[in-house]
Structure 1
């Protein structure tokens, strides 16, 4: 504590001033010396101003704001890079025929009677990508490996499938094993192709599939709720695990209300991370992304008109807003496939009218994107290859897709984007532009990155 005394002709002013440092004391002493040299009235005014405006105690430094921790949203579905789309629908709507043309194979057992397909068939379908085509032309490698989408042909579902009708339990288990759904909807009239419901009505058919998937989910959720309640009753009140068991009951009850009372698919709910974890453990059917494939006659597809399309779109908007609808024609795609080459297909499409294209590439891309799948590339004279992964993957895990040792012994990565090399011509141009970067463990690999991994 220091004591300073200020005297004037008419005023004796004694003030105690705590001075935490010598610097502060020197500063105030200097100001008092200046005041003493001024005339009496000025000294008093200046002294008042000095002691009212000069901070006597150093203000505390403001603490920097706390860094906000960003909690990443957990996705619905399996945390995997190897995801599959299942082809679902009523019998005789064109599922197996679609599977055959998209996979360019004859595995799907298409026939004019229900349940021609019993056991699911699987195929890997190349995903069209102009960036991959450009890279292959640039590097001229010995081998080219594009990204693939795995598609599963699943037997037709019928009304009552959720209770076992028409081998429904087995077929719904097959649906449970996939990660997304291509729902094929019949909107073509053909007297020679029978319909299990007697006539063509896409709205009714979509209602049947939607109802059966929800009913099966309800049965599974109710069973899970019974088990959760038993676990909660036997839990204590001490550990975090005990608390989690009790919270799980409330979460499952919320999911059950959403599906059974609100009549909504699980994927259309607003769920927090704890709830998503429970949903993912339940492997619910209505949690899977759905893309509606409306199978038209060739004539309707070419002229882009069909009496059901607007009604189908309205049904989707009302019941599952945001889900994608893609019109296509199995009949046209089968005919194009028989032509044997892309050039012959293009020539045939040109005869049908302006801007008429097949829909298989669009469908494949939509399925790939719907599963949140993206790809990075490795490129060189030996091979140009696309590596599929789910969005948000960090560098070590992305490297591990090639080989587990790349992840375990990860050192760093060298990365640039496909857009960079297209802009600057080659890797040397990318480096000269400063776009060639070295990345560490926390880097999230982006769609279209070209990556070279370094490992121990």
Structure 2
């Protein structure tokens, strides 16, 4: 991955699309993520046609600890938006399997969770005769590349009809360079983009520009250790320099966990498979990392709340996340680092006495986990 790419894209969005071939467990994973049965799951291709969209609470142990410590009456976490996108097939860029519609749905999301079938089951139809996770990955990525090449071809054709200006020439030259990379099988997110090119690159809305997480769907018996197929995906991911390591989950286990009411039941269920945590938290937190999102907290006995902001956000803009008026009326941000807050057992006076509470100005860059009390003018 290119640092210049991620510096520009992270923190801008919160939407995640679940992508993959048909019949690999996307809807089951979506149901587990959203703790619902919103997506129909069935054993035939193109079961999902219109994308299902759901809000997913982000697992947050820090929020839980702060809330329990202060015995708050209310606890509010942050959310990500997940979209269950119908399965793509070879030829999607040419319209196969309703491909144009599905590719359009991918264009609307900010990050791709690429679900890969890594389980063998003769009772569940697969689009190919043999299970080949790497071949499945390459099928999807090839269709995304082909779709992007079609988009760039239109851009280059339009260039010939326009009067030449520095802006038009920049768009043309960048499109040619990205198209050349795509023709070599290199996704656009791996193309070096300089500062002046960046707005133009964003305006191209390329599918291969989106950061990606590989998620391996395995049988229940392989949820703890993975298998030879997940090993292949990990090696492929390493070769492609995918930033987030592939996540191994059993969508079936996750779906059953999502429908259990008590933490005790969930723990017993996980223990039966030798698992200590569910896999969904890895997917969700991996997505947050790639999107460049972090949390700060407001905490009192009345309410403990996590707020999502992009990494690098300044205090004045962070205040606006709570209420738009706070940006204009900002005075200061009384800030305590998360660990200092925990060490003081959530007591602000103790933090002040120990010099752990700081009065920060509008240009302070909020750190992940900061506990903040904003002071604003009335």
**Structures share a fold, TM > 0.5?**
yes
Counterpart for residue 280 of structure 1: 202
Cα distance in 2 for residues equivalent to 1:96 and 1:221: 32
Cα distance in 2 for residues equivalent to 1:139 and 1:339: 27
Residues 81 and 211 (structure 1), Cα distance of their counterparts in 2 relative to 1, 3 Å cut: closer
1:129-169 Cα offsets, whole Å, 9 max, x none, are 22111110122222111121211111111111111111111
Cα distance in 2 for residues equivalent to 1:160 and 1:411: 57
Counterpart for residue 401 of structure 1: 321
CA RMSD of aligned residues (A): 2.1
Q: Is the contact between residue 115 and residue 156 of structure 1 (CA under 8 Å) also seen in structure 2?
A: yes
| SS of corresponding position for 1:308 | helix
1:192 aligns with 2:153: no
| SS of corresponding position for 1:392 | coil
1:320-360 Cα offsets, whole Å, 9 max, x none, are 5434201111122233334432211211222333x553211
Structure 2 counterparts to residues 10-409 of structure 1, below 5 A:
75=6, 82-233=13-164, 242-260=165-183, 262-302=184-224, 304-353=225-274, 355-409=275-329
1:427 aligns with 2:358: no
Shift of residue 319, structure 1, vs aligned partner: 3.5
Shift of residue 79, structure 1, vs aligned partner: 7.5
Counterpart for residue 375 of structure 2: 454
Residues 323 and 265 (structure 1), Cα distance of their counterparts in 2 relative to 1, 3 Å cut: farther
Cα distance in 1 for residues equivalent to 2:231 and 2:11: 36
Residues 321 and 338 (structure 1), Cα distance of their counterparts in 2 relative to 1, 3 Å cut: closer
Bigger Rg, structure 1 or 2: 1
Q: Is the contact between residue 141 and residue 381 of structure 1 (CA under 8 Å) also seen in structure 2?
A: yes
- TM-score (norm: length of structure 2): 0.92
- TM-score (norm: length of structure 1): 0.77
| SS of corresponding position for 1:105 | coil
| SS of corresponding position for 1:401 | helix
Residues 340 and 123 (structure 1), Cα distance of their counterparts in 2 relative to 1, 3 Å cut: same
Residues 318 and 123 (structure 1), Cα distance of their counterparts in 2 relative to 1, 3 Å cut: same
Count of aligned pairs: 374
Residues 437 and 357 (structure 1), Cα distance of their counterparts in 2 relative to 1, 3 Å cut: closer
More displaced stretch, 313-322 vs 88-97 = 313-322
Residues 300 and 393 (structure 1), Cα distance of their counterparts in 2 relative to 1, 3 Å cut: same
Structure 1: which 5+ residue stretches go unaligned? Answer: 1-71, 234-241
1:363-418 Cα offsets, whole Å, 9 max, x none, are 21111112111111111122111111111112222111122111233332222211
1:62-91 Cα offsets, whole Å, 9 max, x none, are xxxxxxxxxx96746667654111000011
Cα distance in 2 for residues equivalent to 1:244 and 1:192: 55
Residues 211 and 124 (structure 1), Cα distance of their counterparts in 2 relative to 1, 3 Å cut: same
Cα distance in 2 for residues equivalent to 1:87 and 1:214: 18
Cα distance in 1 for residues equivalent to 2:220 and 2:143: 30
Structure 2 counterparts to residues 430-441 of structure 1, below 5 A:
430-441=351-362
| SS of corresponding position for 1:381 | coil
1:189-245 Cα offsets, whole Å, 9 max, x none, are 111111122332211111110100111111112222333454452xxxxxxxx4333
Structure 2: which 5+ residue stretches go unaligned? Answer: none
Cα distance in 1 for residues equivalent to 2:154 and 2:329: 43
Cα distance in 1 for residues equivalent to 2:10 and 2:245: 23
Q: Is the contact between residue 77 and residue 179 of structure 1 (CA under 8 Å) also seen in structure 2?
A: no
Shift of residue 94, structure 1, vs aligned partner: 0.3
Cα distance in 1 for residues equivalent to 2:170 and 2:322: 39
Cα distance in 2 for residues equivalent to 1:409 and 1:342: 43
